[in-house]
Amino acid sequence: MLFAAICLFYSCKEDPKEEELEDLAVVEAEPEQILEFGFNLNDYIVKRDTIRRGDSFGEILERNNIGYPQIFQIAEKAKDTFDIRKLQIGKPYTLLCAKGDSLEKPKCFIYQPNKEEYVVINFQDSIHAYTSRKPIKYVEKEVTGIITSNISQALDDQGVSVALAYKMSDIYAWTIDFFRLQKNDKFKVIYTEKFIDDSIYAGIDNIKAAYFEHNKEPFYAFEFETDSVRGLKDYFNEEANNLRRAFLKAPVEYKRISSRYNLRRRIALYGNRIRPHKGTDFAANIGTPIRATANGTVTKSSFTRGNGNYVKIRHNATYETQYLHMKKQNVKAGQYVKQGDIIGWVGMTGNTSGPHVCYRFWKNGKQVDPFKEDLPEAEPISDSLKAKYLDFIKPLKTQLDNIPFSYSEIDSILDGNLITEANN
């Protein structure tokens, strides 16, 4: 009885009075805003899809209950900002549709040509179109590696994109042959990665500084802006010497030479007769970007039965280059291009038995082997910038020098050496 009375006392004490219950207001939590493309997605019915074969801007809107008179008006208003005929298969798009509308008619069409950019065609009030970019965060990273087979494997073992190897091979194109790396060569890299909306990985942005020890010889590389007006940057070593030449060593990244310049080449298909090869063939997958190896003006962007789709560039009074068998050109005659600009994509047009780019090089009107030419170096840092450069790289060099190689990397080298000694 005593226990029951105590329980009754406390249960009565904890029950709120009726008038107190009436005073309690029910507060509904505001839904958290979901912001994307500059819109609060909570305000719309959101439909996401990708461009499919046969899709067009008009067909997509018609499928979503927009009539052709309105589609025509939208297309006309948007054409100065975005050509709606350039929708690419596989690229994502988003429709923002009106809530409370049984037909769920779109009020806005958003197209993403790549991870960073997007095109908004907004027609919920007046019709207007604009392009924008998603917010990008840059994160600095460090990585070290010791070569056991190749640099791609050394990076892959640590979960780092092979794109970093491509960038490093370009930076060191004239100082290190990445196809002839030695076992136990080692490297350190300070680089930045891009993240969209803080979380979506968008690839490697750039290499800020690198150290590569090849055949026990050290090679430093530091990125430095030499022209702030034009935004020109290049890589220099610890003594302010340019690591590049006036010409890139190859027109494609991370290349494989399938056929070299050879004036005495014999081909069995032609009865083993001499058929001179006045170019250097770089094997690569179809669609691989082909880059101009130096600044210059496009003199030809054309097609012939032998060359297929090709581009020819005059760099100055002495040098010209030509790029054959393209899938498609990306430049026109008369256009000025800079070193590294994409001028086309690897294909199999013309006389070719496999996907590659045939790179031809002229000096004073005569085709020569660029690998046997003493080509000019790229422009050095001006005297007025040299002191600024040396001050700029001091903290980067200190940071590089203080990055340790991991114990696992060192252990793998020691294990490999012990195995080699045991086998000997």
pTM equals 0.59
Kindly report the average pLDDT of the chain as a whole number: 84
- CB atoms under 10 Å from CB of 13, counted, come to 7
Rounded-to-integer distance, Cα 17 and Cα 3, Å: 24
Contacts 24+ apart (CB under 8 A), 324-330: 324/279, 324/350, 324/357, 324/358, 324/359, 324/360, 325/349, 325/350, 325/352, 325/355, 325/356, 325/357, 325/358, 326/290, 326/357, 327/286, 327/287, 329/301
Confidence check: pLDDT of 259 > 90: no
Q: Rounded to whole angstroms, what are the CA distances from 19 to 23, 24, 372?
A: 7, 9, 97
Q: Are 136 and 202 in contact (CB under 8 A)?
A: yes
* 3-state secondary structure (DSSP) of residue 30: coil
Amino acid identity of residue 399, one-letter, is Q
Closest CA to 181 of 215, 145, 216, 154: 215
Joined together, the tokens standing for residue 391 give 């001050």
Look at residue 397 and tell me whether its pLDDT is greater than 90: yes
The pLDDT of residue 115: 86
* Contact indicator for 216, 207 with CB cutoff of 8 Å: no
pLDDT of amino acid 272? 55
Write down the residue that tokens 């690591």 correspond to: 243
| Fold (topology level) of 135-243+377-424 | Nuclear Transport Factor 2; Chain: A, (3.10.450)
Instruction: Summarize pLDDT for 32-85 with one digit per residue, the tens.
Output: 778 899 899 999 999 999 999 999 999 999 999 999 999 999 999 888 888 888
Domains 135-243+377-424 and 256-372 share a fold: no
**DSSP per position, 297-336:** EEEEEEEETTTEEEEEEE-SSSEEEEEEEEEEE---TT-E
In this prediction, what percent of the chain has a pLDDT beyond 70? 84
- Asked if 246 and 375 touch (Cβ cutoff 8 Å), the reply is yes
Q: Are the C-beta atoms of 320 and 299 separated by less than 8 Å? A: yes
**3-state DSSP call for residue 279?**
strand
The closest alpha carbon to 297, from 317, 281, 324, 282, belongs to 317
Mean pLDDT of 379-384: 82
Q: What is the DSSP letter of 126?
A: S
Q: Is residue 207 over pLDDT 80?
A: yes
The tokens of 402 are what?
Answer: 């203080």
Consecutive H or E run containing 18: helix 18-23
Listing DSSP states for 340-357 in one string gives T-EEEEEB--SS-SSSEE
Residue recorded with tokens 């927009």:
66
Give the number of C-alpha atoms closer than 13 A to the C-alpha of residue 401, restricted to the C-beta side.
8
350, 342, 347, 304: which is closest to 328 by C-alpha?
347
Strands (E), 69-199: 92-98, 106-111, 117-122, 128-133, 136-146, 186-196
Cα torsion for 155, 160, 162, 163, to the nearest 10°? -130
Q: Which of 176-180, 245-249, 337-341, 394-398 has the lowest mean pLDDT?
A: 176-180
% pLDDT > 90, the chain: 46
Q: Which helix (H) or strand (E) holds 204?
A: strand 200-214
More confident residue, 217 or 33: 217
pLDDT (0 to 100) of residue 18: 52
- Domain boundaries along the sequence of the chain: 35-133, 135-243+377-424, 256-372
Helix (H, G, I), strand (E, B) or coil at 422: helix
Q: Considering Cα of 179, then 182, then 188, then 193, what sign does the dihedral take?
A: positive
For range 172-189, the mean pLDDT? 84
Q: Which amino acid, one-letter code, is at 67?
A: G
Q: Measured between alpha carbons, how far is 91 from 420 in angstroms, rounded to an integer?
A: 51
Residue 95 · residue 64 · CB < 8 Å: yes
Question: 315 is written with which tokens?
Answer: 């760099």
For residue 133 the two structure tokens come to 């970019």
Whether the predicted pLDDT of 367 surpasses 80: yes
Residue 95, CB half-sphere, CA atoms under 13 Å: how many?
A: 20
User: What CATH architecture is 256-372?
Assistant: Distorted Sandwich (2.70)
CATH number of the domain at 35-133, please? 3.10.450.350
Compute the radius of gyration of the chain from its Cα atoms: 31
Structure-token pair, residue 52: 């499919």
